[in-house]
Copies of this chain bind each other. A is one copy, B any other.
Amino acid sequence: MATRIPRIAADKLLKHATRRAPINLTTCQPCRLRTRPLHTSAPRRTSPDTNPRSASDKPASSNVRTARVAPVGWLVGGGLVASFLALSQNHDTEHLPEASVSPSGDNRDPSIPRFRLSDVRKHGPDSSEPWVTFEDKVYNITDWIEAHPGGDVILRAAGASLEPYWNIFSIHNAPHVKEILGQYMIGFIDAADLGPDGRPAAESIEDPFEDDPVRDPRLITHTLKPRNAEPPNEELDRTFYTPNDLFYIRHHMWVPVVEEAKADEFALTVELPDGEVKQYTIGELKAKFPMHKVTAVLQCSGNRRNDMTRHAGKTNGLQWGVGAISNAEWEGVRLSDVLADAGLNTTPDQPEANSLHAQFTGAEAYGASIPLSKALSPTGDVLLAFNMNGEPLPRDHGFPLRAVVPGNVAARSVKWLNKIVISDEESPSQWQRRDYKSFGPNEGPNPDWEKAPSIQEMPITSAITGVWVGDCVRKGKVPWMGATENHGTTNPCPETTPDNEPIALQGYAYSGGGRKITRVDVSLDGGATWDQAELVDDCSNPATPCHGNKTWGWTRWRYEGTLPVLSLLPTTTATPALPPALQKVGQDCEDGFGRSRGLLGKKDEKNKKCTTLIVKATDESYNTQPESHKGIYNVRGNLATAWHRVKICPECTKGNGKPGGLTWSTGETYGCGFRREAEEVRVGMERAASLVNGKK
């Protein structure tokens, strides 16, 4: 039995273990075990499961402990970073000793136990006390398994080193991951097993991301491996249907490889509550069932998380801007048709429709479920989709088959779908039961995961995606004012004048459950007064017809007005008073974005007057958005749906040979004069979040 040090960590750990250790994942689709060898291009043909025990009786990953088939068999979810971050708040991590093994001897703390790698290997996946190594240290991860975002998946690394996996999964290159790991340290690797660099011999593993698709360079990438990226604002809703190349990407692993020529052989298994199993290849699905089109948004539960972080407090997860949402036309067969063909007799008005669930599993073993009532609803439009915007699904979006659950959180629209189980339980995956949930503002970093319902229908939200001010508007450099140039990419606006500035805004609004957006309110003065935006009637445009029984797509909106405050106050200390009507809307720039740019010195900046643009939407049920993120704050940063605020500040520009002038700056949106490079935007988002989190 290994000694665990330090005691304090063990005690805290125990506390976590007994009250169910916290699981904090980033949103949408956390990573899952890859259960087949890499680079196998043939689709996995799942043979019917003749075991009468329903899949619902066992976790989706329950076979992990006994099978170790993949060359890269150990994966840490994107959410691990978040988990580590969450745990790190509660633990003193200074106990992690510095390594100090020189070729000439072991100078590390002699009071800490040593283990041979042969010992470590004994604590493999089948051991009751699994261990891993990192650098020159040994960790007993037994108590972490339950808290691990990937569940048993962590055991793939048991008995060996984490490093090859973390080196590839760049998502682990985040603060505090090691701090959390430190909780579980039990000793050092014996010096006899260390090389001249004080490390054990490096294992070489294949890069599973090697075959990932090439992505559009315009995407703002939050993590490279796995890829998580959102389109830049100016592209997000430029068109009603987000182009496939720019549709936001939320991955937890690499993208499964399915040869296009063999896509029709890709098989889907359907298991009914009585244990009966039926299998359909994609070719059979296409031949047997009528095709349907559905216009639907997919939105990550973490969309606008960055907003909640900056305005309410630290959140765990990828710091998405307003772009973890996109809109597409999906085409496929109805899930309800397939289930009926498979032998399911339940009708939507039977109690079973409410008590049963349709569990989806993807080729990478990600699991999630929806209530059967949604699957069976004649107006629910749940598809097994093959096509997206008139083309076969791109690999990034589930080729060759994905569930599309309109109106629900995207985490339920499982990609690379190969199994459906109808069960009396929700998907046993932690992504269903723990992660994609939201909580009350009273719950801290360890919410009661059992208590909250899994996110299904999405609440109403909206966002500003484009802001144009002054000459941008006067000269028509707004796309929907007939601008022909690629606005915002090359032409910063000329100097503007400080009064009666015209402003143009655009954005999207969306509500879950198929509820149509009926009104979008815009304020240019921080909420003191409101006006209504024009809703773009894309569905009446013959080029972008809308499909489906309800309004599953987003509503784009546009607004033209005049800025109420445009006061770059003199840089002298003799600051003239603003007229009373303007004082209330003239606010100092508070967040880091606006201030750091331009030529104003510190002294000037405090005189810089800003105003806050706001958008909020209302849907046909007259539900609307909460005003601030404080009342809906949750540590996961899920469902950040408060009024979207963009602070806009006047700013001096460099002349660059020409005369300098006054422009407007916002760190959050883009348009004429506001263009930033994608990477700069991403860094800005991260920086803002880390400032809030008290980290640099």
A348 within 8 A of partner (CB):
yes
Are B348 and A379 in contact (CB-based, < 8 A)? yes
A498 in the interface (beta carbon within 8 A):
no
The answer for the CA separation of A512 and B621 in the assembled complex, in Å, is 7
On chain B, the residues within 8 Å of A513 by CB distance are: 513, 515, 621
B532 touches A623 (CB 8 A): no
A373 vs B639: C-alpha distance when bound (angstroms): 29
Decide if A622 touches B458 in the complex (CB within 8 Å).
Answer: yes
* Contact yes or no, A460 B379, CB < 8 A: no
User: Which chain B residue shows the least CB distance to A519?
Assistant: B440
A345 CB within 8 Å of chain B: no
Query: Could you tell me if B622 and A624 are in contact, using CB atoms closer than 8 angstroms?
Result: no
Pick out which of these stretches binds chain B: A66-74, A411-419, A523-531.
Answer: A523-531
Query: A378: CB under 8 A from chain B?
Result: yes
| Contact A378 B347, beta carbon cutoff 8 Å | yes
Query: Which residues of chain B have C-beta atoms less than 8 A from A630's C-beta?
Result: 527
Q: What is the minimal beta-carbon distance from A235 to any residue of chain B, in angstroms?
A: 28
Indicate if the CB atoms of A441 and B521 lie closer than 8 Å.
Answer: yes
CB distance B631 to A616 under 8 Å? yes
Interface code A549-574, partner B: CB below 8 Å = 1, 0 otherwise? 10000000000000000000000000
A531 CA / B444 CA spacing, docked (Å)? 11
Interface flag for A75 (CB, 8 Å): no
Residue contact B626 to A442, C-beta cutoff 8 Å: no
Q: 1/0 per residue A372-412: CB within 8 Å of B?
A: 01000111000000000000000000000000000000000
Answer whether residue A317 sits at the interface, using C-beta atoms and an 8 A cutoff: no
Partner of A549, one of B349, B515, B622, B623: B349
Q: Which residues of B contact A379 (CB under 8 A)?
A: 348-349, 353, 373, 377
**Which of A45-53, A158-166, A449-457 contacts its partner?**
A449-457
Q: Which of A404-442 contact B (CB under 8 A)?
A: 438, 440-442
Name the residue on B nearest A371 (C-beta): B620
In the complex, A641 Cα to B624 Cα: how many Å?
Answer: 10
Question: Nearest-CB distance from A646 to chain B (Å)?
Answer: 17
Chain B residue at smallest Cβ distance from A627:
B627
Interface: A83 (CB within 8 A): no
A631 to B624, Cβ gap below 8 A? yes
From residue 509 to 524 of chain A, which have CB atoms closer than 8 A to chain B?
512-513, 515, 518-519, 521
Q: Are B624 and A627 in contact (CB under 8 A)?
A: no
Cβ of B347 and Cβ of A459 under 8 Å apart?
no
Interface centre among A624, A628, A639 (most CB of B within 10 A): A624
Does A689 sit within 8 A of B, measured CB to CB? no
A175-210 Cβ-contact flags toward B at 8 Å (1 or 0):
000000000000000000000000000000000000
Residues of B within 8 A of A441 (CB): 521, 530
Q: A349-B379, A549-B354 are in contact. Are A532 and B442 (CB under 8 A)?
A: yes
Q: Which residues of B contact A515 (CB under 8 A)?
A: 457, 513
Residues in B with CB closer than 8 Å to A625 are 626
**Does A632 count as interface, using CB distance less than 8 angstroms?**
yes
Verify B631–A628 contact, CB threshold 8 A.
no
Residues of A contacting B: mostly: loop
Contact B378–A442 (Cβ < 8 Å)? no
B contact residues around A453 at 8 Å (CB): 518, 620
Expressed in whole angstroms, the Cα–Cα distance for A590 and B216 within the complex equals 57
A622: B residues at CB distance < 8 A: 438, 455, 457-459, 639, 641
* Pair B457/A620 contact, Cβ less than 8 Å: yes
A456 to B518, CA, bound (A): 12
Q: How far is the CA of A18 from the CA of B529 in the complex (A)?
A: 27
- What residues of chain B lie closer than 8 Å to A349, measured between beta carbons? 378-379, 549
- Using a CB-CB cutoff of 8 Å, which residues 297-333 of chain A contact chain B? none
Choice from B530, B532, B631, B639 contacting A627 with Cβ under 8 Å:
B631
Q: Which chain B residues lie closer than 8 Å to A518 at the CB level? A: 452-453
Instruction: List, in ascending order, chain B residues with CB within 8 A of A438's CB.
Output: 618, 622
| CB-CB nearest in chain B for A625 | B626
A680 to B487, CA, bound (A): 63
**A442-B530 contact in complex given A347-B378, A616-B631, C-beta closer than 8 Å:** yes
Instruction: Tell me, in angstroms, the Cα distance from A624 to B631 when the chains sit together.
Output: 9
Q: Are A442 and B627 in contact (CB under 8 A)?
A: no
Known contacts A440-B521, A631-B627; is-contact A620 B532 (Cβ 8 Å): no
Interface pair A532/B440, CB less than 8 Å apart: yes
User: B residues within 8 A CB of A348?
Assistant: 378-379, 549
Query: Which chain A residues have a beta carbon within 8 Å of chain B's beta carbons?
Result: 347-349, 353-354, 373, 377-379, 438, 440-442, 452-453, 455-460, 512-513, 515, 518-519, 521, 527, 529-532, 549, 616, 618, 620-628, 630-632, 639, 641, 643
Q: Which 7 A-B pairs have the closest CB atoms?
A: A457-B621, A349-B378, A627-B627, A459-B623, A442-B530, A459-B622, A623-B623
For this complex, 30 residue pairs linking A to B, each with C-beta atoms less than 8 Å apart, are A348-B378, A348-B379, A349-B379, A353-B379, A354-B549, A373-B379, A377-B379, A378-B378, A438-B618, A438-B622, A440-B521, A441-B521, A442-B529, A442-B532, A452-B518, A452-B519, A455-B622, A456-B621, A457-B515, A459-B622, A460-B623, A512-B621, A513-B621, A527-B630, A530-B631, A621-B623, A622-B639, A624-B626, A626-B626, A631-B643
Contacts beyond the supplied A349-B379, A459-B624: 16 A-B pairs with Cβ under 8 Å: A373-B379, A377-B379, A440-B521, A440-B532, A441-B521, A442-B529, A442-B530, A442-B531, A453-B620, A455-B622, A457-B515, A457-B620, A459-B621, A460-B623, A622-B639, A631-B643
